[in-house]
A and B are shown apart, each in its own frame.
Chain A
Amino acid sequence: MSNDPIHQFHINPISPPIHFGAIDATFTNASLFMVAGVAVASGFMAWAMRPQALVPGRAQSVAEITYGFVHGMVRDAAGDEGVKRFFPFVFTVFMFVFAANMIGMFPYWFAPTGQIIITASMALMVFATVLIVGFAKNGFKFLKLFVPSGVPWYILWFVVIIEIISFFSRPLSHAIRLWANVFAGHLLLKVIASFVPMMAAAGGMLVLGSVIPLFMTVAIYALEFLVAFLQAYVFAMLTCIYLNDALHPGH
């Protein structure tokens, strides 16, 4: 079973079963790596910002660059009002996804973002925030989001239907994009890496040929590091774009 590529996504309890009433809160390996990711992310940020130096050191520079990166992302997509309201939220989303992705890159560790329930929770959280803030801020003017201006009436009904469908499919694609990237990347790595012992065990010329999947594994590993960052960036970016709709529904 060691060659089963799905094996890395299995969730095993590492504590005795914990139940809060009806809620199953058993501490599993998924929980462990989620908590570890949060601990690493917040621990690093807090540690790096400890000196609060006027001329930053290396760690503080990294923390400040991360801050500036997300800050610029929110400002570009959602304006200054978006920064005021949503910056901590977007920063948390970005840090969580990035930390979870990166912690999943270690061999034998677990990628929390490879579980669709986690990405779906975050996507639905963003979706609910957009709906709540959108209606709270704009009232029924929020529905203008579905009615683009400058479209003749005989196409408008069709455009509105498409807009509504695309609006409600956002959390789906938002969640699946991140999950599928992490999941497929890890699965691909495992599949290609498992060719190495398979070919080595086959004997003959195939033993020499087993370096090919080895190099491929290394190359795909590098690509997966890029994907881990890029998907965190894209997830946060899309979050900003969706939140912008809540603030400025008129196109």
Chain B
Amino acid sequence: MDFASAKLIGAGIACIGMGGAGIGVGIIFGNFLQGALRNPTEAPKQFGNLIFGFAVTEALGIFSLAIALILLFAAPH
């Protein structure tokens, strides 16, 4: 296997990590909705926590996206 194809394959594999972040973000918003529907008056107070949890989780997906992009565009040729 030559170097260029290895890079592309590596980028593709790195993108699998984003699926985990997707699951995580889905769990966060799903659980927020569940809690919010049970207790709607308390829900707005947790909005900051929701966004914080979303950003922290989503960042992990961004990590793998960054790895993929680095492999695609920034790795030495």
Contacts and interface: CB of A to CB of B under 8 A. Distances in A.
- Do A and B interact directly, with beta carbons closer than 8 Å? yes
A181 B62 contact: yes
A234 B52 contact: yes
**Lowest 7 CB-CB distances: which A-B pairs, in order?**
A180-B66, A177-B59, A234-B55, A180-B62, A184-B65, A184-B66, A230-B55
B8 interface: no
Contacts of A6: 73-74
B16 interface: no
Interface of B: 51-52, 54-56, 59, 62-63, 65-66, 69, 73-74
A177 B63 CA distance: 7
A69 B48 CA distance: 11
Contacts of A173: 59
A5 B73 contact: yes
A233 B63 contact: no
Interface of A: 4-6, 173, 176-177, 179-181, 183-185, 187-188, 230-231, 233-234, 237
Contacts of A234: 52, 55-56, 59
Q: Which DSSP category, helix, strand, loop or mixed, fits chain A's interface?
A: helix
Contacts, number: 44
B73 A231 contact: no
29 contacts: A4-B73, A5-B69, A5-B73, A176-B63, A177-B56, A177-B59, A177-B62, A177-B63, A179-B66, A180-B59, A180-B62, A180-B63, A180-B65, A181-B59, A183-B66, A183-B69, A184-B69, A187-B73, A188-B65, A188-B69, A230-B54, A230-B55, A231-B59, A233-B51, A233-B52, A233-B55, A234-B52, A234-B55, A234-B56
Residue picked from B51, B54, B69, most chain A C-beta under 10 Å: B69
Contacts of A231: 55, 59
A176 to B, nearest CB: 6
Nearest to B59: A177
A14 to B, nearest CB: 23
A3 to B, nearest CB: 11
Nearest to A7: B73
B71 to A, nearest CB: 12
Contacts of A233: 51-52, 55
